[in-house]
Structure 1
């Protein structure tokens, strides 16, 4: 795809709105506004979960992912850097996924690369998340072990750890 009809200023503004909406979703735990930024026919490529087509396939996945461990212990999703590709109408960024403090101020997180393709009118027509799922598992295991050491491990995380965390 070449020849985007979107100006750099429009892409910059749309990405700033995207980041603000994602931040509010993380703070309020209301994931609908995040999903509502996508076009009705969004193509969402998530390498571990698969490819979803349409907002109404993305919506239940985001709610389930972000409201169960470890997603519900992620506090924000700030971009660490981004690149604007005006020719394709894309924003490529690295998103951080820090988890809440296990009790001693430790910050544990994992990152992913996201490629967002703009559709205009403040909507995104495609998102692809690229990452190593094992890094996310490793971060969640590290968080669980730290919380266990501190006596702050919630039951939900302990159950996840027993299922996916392996043996010590």
Structure 2
């Protein structure tokens, strides 16, 4: 049994989401990372397992300041499940990219499992997704921006490296 009530988990996750939303808007990733315990374990299936807040901080800053992460505008949860017996919240997160120039919204989703540590901190996060879906969404975004004449250089370089043939 979890030491945390359902109400505490719901309130803590609402705070987590608000902080992540603010980080996405301001592009200051430190408050997001500061929500993790010092000894957090972060499992990211494409990037590997990170141990400790500072390792997560380095990864989040690099990921979110490099294309395509730098073009993701928010990370809203589409649904959540509170597992109060285990002190966890499971959610599906959307990862929409900025408008390529015609109002199109292109995104991919992932499932995140976050485990609460108390006092507004989270001691574990695991992101579960198919990386190829993120690649496909990013290629789609690049192709759309290319057709609109709005493809930035960093996205063009990414497309050359990962986009494959037309």
**Structure 2-normalised TM-score?**
1.00
Structure 2's unaligned 5+ residue stretches are: none
1:65 to 63, 66, 70: 63
CA-CA distance at 1:27 after TM superposition: 0.2
2:136 to 126, 135, 138: 138
Query: Secondary structure of 1:33's match?
Result: helix
CA-CA distance at 1:90 after TM superposition: 0.2
> How do residues 1-168 of structure 1 correspond to structure 2 at under 5 angstroms?
3-168=1-166
CA-CA distance at 1:151 after TM superposition: 0.2
CA-CA distance at 1:56 after TM superposition: 0.8
State the alpha-carbon separation in 2 of the partners of residues 29 and 124 from structure 1. Answer: 21
State the alpha-carbon separation in 2 of the partners of residues 57 and 104 from structure 1. Answer: 37
CA-CA distance at 1:39 after TM superposition: 0.1
CA-CA distance at 1:98 after TM superposition: 0.2
State the alpha-carbon separation in 2 of the partners of residues 69 and 86 from structure 1. Answer: 36
Deviations, residues 93-119 of structure 1 (Å, cap 9, x unaligned): 000000000000001000000000000
**Structure 1-normalised TM-score?**
0.98
Query: Secondary structure of 1:108's match?
Result: coil
Deviations, residues 15-39 of structure 1 (Å, cap 9, x unaligned): 0000000000000000000000000
Structure 1's unaligned 5+ residue stretches are: none
